[in-house]
Amino acid sequence: MTTDKNRVLIFDTTLRDGEQSPGATMTHAEKLEIAGLLDDMGVDIIEAGFPIASEGDFQAVSEIARQSKNATICGLARAQLPDIDRCWEAVKHAKSPRIHTFIGTSPLHRAIPNLTQDEMAERIEQTVTHARNLCDNVQWSPMDATRTEWDYLKRVCEIAIKSGATTINIPDTVGYTAPRESAELIRRLIDEVEGGHDVIWATHCHNDLGMATANSLAAVEAGARQIECTINGLGERAGNTALEEVVMALKVRNDIMPFHTQIDTKKIMHISRRVSTVSGFPVQFNKAIVGKNAFAHESGIHQDGMLKNAETFEIMRPEDVGLAGTSLPLGKHSGRAALRAKLNDLGFEMGDNQLKDVFVRFKELADRKKEVFDDDLIALMRDAAASEQSDRLKIKSLRVVCGTEGPQTADLVMEIDGKDVSTTATGDGPVDATFNAVKALFDHSARLQLYQVHAVTEGTDAQATVSVRMEEDGKTATGQSADTDTVVASAKAYVNALNRLLIRRETTEVGYDTKTVSYKDAG
C-alpha cells in the first residue's frame, strides 16, 4: 500500500471491534456517517463490519464500500469459505477492497473448534488461498497470537504468507502482552518467518492491562507498519488501542519515533464526539487527547505557567486535535448566526433545516441557563442526534413529586408509535418512579445494568448528562441524554436505550457452528 518505510498505516475497527462493546451497537445511518468521517480524516483502512453476522451488517459494509472515497474498505470473515464469500460480496464494491480472515491459534482457542495443529494449518491454507483468489488484498490474523506457542505461530504465519496474505496482523486479543514482549515478537516474526520481509505486519492490541497504546508503539518501533485501533479506544472489555493516542504520540514524539501517518489530526475531536454520541459511551474526563480535562488546568502553579508560556504544561496545542480555542459562552440573546459559528468551531456542520431545529433547542436551554458553554452545546447536539434516531418511543411530558417522605410519584405522558399514552407511577425516588412509569406504558423485560449521571458544566443550573445501559435477551444498548433537570434527562436516556433495544430486536443474526469461534471474539 505504501513504499514509505516510515509510514504507519492506520486500520480503524471502530465499526467492527468497537461496535462489539456491549451496548455500543450503531444504526445503519450512524455507521455510514462514522465511516465517512473516518475516510475524510485520512484513515487508511476501515474495517466496516462482519458481513456474515447479519443482513444489516452486510448492507452496512456494502454501502460503506460503495461510498468510500480514499480508504481501503475491509470486512471480517472467520476461517470458513461461506464467511469469506459473503465478505467479498460486501467489500467488492470498494475502490480498494480487503478481506480480513482470522482463526484462533493459541491452545485455548484451538480447543474451541477442536482442531489439531495440522488440521488448523490446513484450514488456514485453504481459506487464505480462497480469499486471495477473490481479492488481491488479504489480511490474516492468528487470534490470541501473543499466547500462541512460538513454533506454531511462526508456522501458521508462513502458511498464510505462502497462501497469498499481504498483511499479517498479530492480535493481543486479551491485552496480555507488554511493550518489550510486543516489540520482540514482531521483530522475530519479521526476521524469522519465511517471506516476512515481503508483507506488512500489523499490531492489534487490547487494553486489559492499560498497555494497548504502549504495546502498539513498541510493535511499530520493531517493524510493524499498521496499527489497528478505534476512536476513543472503544471496544470489548477495556477496549482497543485508541486511534487518537497512537496518532498523536507519533506526531508529538517524532523525535524518538520517526514515523508518521496521514491522519488529519484536527478532525480527531469531532469524530471522537460523534462516536461517543452514536455509541452512547461517554468519554472519560481524564482520557488522553480527547477527554474533557485533557487541556484543562486548574491548579495555581499550572495556570500561572500556562499564562506565561503554554508549553510549560502542554506538549501539544488544543487546536492540533480540533479543539476550538477558549471563547465567550452564548446566551439567550445570541442569534442563529452566532450559534452556527460556534457549532462550526466545535466541528458540527449542518444545513438550514437542522440549524432551525437546533436553534429552538438552544433557545429553550438558554432560557433555563444564564450561560451556554461549549460542553452544553455538545450535549445538546448529542441529545438532538439521539432524538432523531429514537422514533418509536418519545417522552412528551413528565412531572414528579419528591421529598423526604415517600413514595415518590411520576406523572408521565409518552408517545408510543405515534399515539399518546399516560400513567402515574410511584417508586423509591423520582428516577425509580419515572422508570416504573415508562415500564407501565411500554412493558419490557430489559434489565437496567448501568445508570450514571455527571454534570456537563459547573453551577446549580448545569445540564446533567445521564447514561443508561440496558440488557434484554443477551442484547445490550446504551442511551444518553442531557437536560438541566436530572430526572428528565434520566427519562430520555432510559427511553433512548429502549429504542436502541427495539432496533436490535429487529436485527436477525445468523447462528454459529459450534466448531468455530464466534466473531465477537475476533481480534
Question: What confidence tens digit (pLDDT) does each residue in 247-294 have?
Answer: 999 999 999 999 999 999 999 999 998 898 888 788 888 999 998 788
Same domain, 348 and 297: no
The whole domain housing 305 covers 293-319
Does residue 54 sit in the same domain as residue 190?
A: yes
Looking at the fold, whether 170 and 300 belong to one and the same domain comes out as: no
What is the rounded distance in angstroms from the CA atom of residue 16 to the CA atom of residue 396?
35
pLDDT at 509 over 50: no
* DSSP per position, 273-340: HHHHHHHT-PPPTT-TTTSTTTT---SHHHHHHHHH-GGGT-SS-GGGGTPPPP-PPB-TT--HHHHH
Is the pLDDT at 352 greater than 70? The verdict is yes
Predicted pLDDT at 300: 44
Q: How far apart are CA 187 and CA 479, in angstroms?
A: 43
Contact predicate 171/141, CB 8 Å: yes
Sheet strands side by side (includes 475-483): 447-455, 464-472, 475-483
pLDDT of 477 over the 70 cut: yes
The stretch 94-115 carries a mean pLDDT of 96
**Reported confidence tier of residue 393, pLDDT bands at 50, 70, 90:** very high
- % of the chain exceeding 70 in pLDDT: 90
Q: Is 445 domain-assigned?
A: yes
At residue 94, the pLDDT reads 98
Determine the pLDDT at residue 102. Answer: 98
Least confident of 13-27, 119-133, 395-409: 13-27
Name the domain boundary from 337, 367, 386: 386
Q: Measure the CA–CA gap between 301 and 465, rounded to whole angstroms.
A: 31
519 located within any domain: no
Question: What local confidence, expressed as pLDDT, does residue 314 receive?
Answer: 67
Residues 421 and 312 in one domain: no
244/368 same-domain check: no
224 and 255 in one domain?
yes
Residues 305 and 352 in one domain: no
Residue 113 lies inside a defined structural domain of this protein: yes
Give the C-alpha distances (Å, rounded to integers) separating 394 from 25, 54, 387. 20, 28, 8
State the average pLDDT for the chain: 88
pLDDT average, residue stretch 387-406? 83
Binding residues: 17, 204, 206, 240
Average pLDDT over residues 460-479: 85
Question: What is the spatial distance between Cα 206 and Cα 213, in angstroms, rounded to a whole number?
Answer: 9
Q: Which residues are annotated as a binding site for Mn(2+)?
A: 17, 204, 206, 240
Do 407 and 456 belong to one domain? Answer: yes
* Residue 341 belongs to a domain: yes
Question: What's the CA angle centered on 45, arms 165 and 43, to 5 degrees?
Answer: 150
Region of poorest pLDDT, from 53-57, 262-266, 436-440: 53-57
Same domain as 409, residue 314: no
**Residue 152 and residue 197 share a domain:** yes
235 and 275 fall within a common domain? yes
**Are the CB atoms for 188 and 201 separated by under 8 Å?**
no
Q: What is the pLDDT at residue 125?
A: 98
* Residue 447 pLDDT exceeds 70: yes
In this prediction, residues 305-329 reach a mean pLDDT of 64
- Give the end-to-end CA distance of the chain in Å, rounded to a whole number: 22
Which letter does DSSP use for residue 206 in this model?
Answer: B
Same domain, residue pair 64 and 92: yes
pLDDT at 454 over 90: no
69 confidence band (pLDDT: 50, 70, 90): very high
In this predicted structure, what is the pLDDT of residue 520? 43
| Banded model confidence at residue 181, pLDDT cuts 50, 70, 90 | very high
Residue 397 contacts residue 424 (beta carbons within 8 Å): no
Domain count, the chain: 4
Q: What is the model's pLDDT at position 195?
A: 97
Residue 464 lies in a domain: yes
Residue 2 belongs to a domain: no
> What's the pLDDT at 506?
64
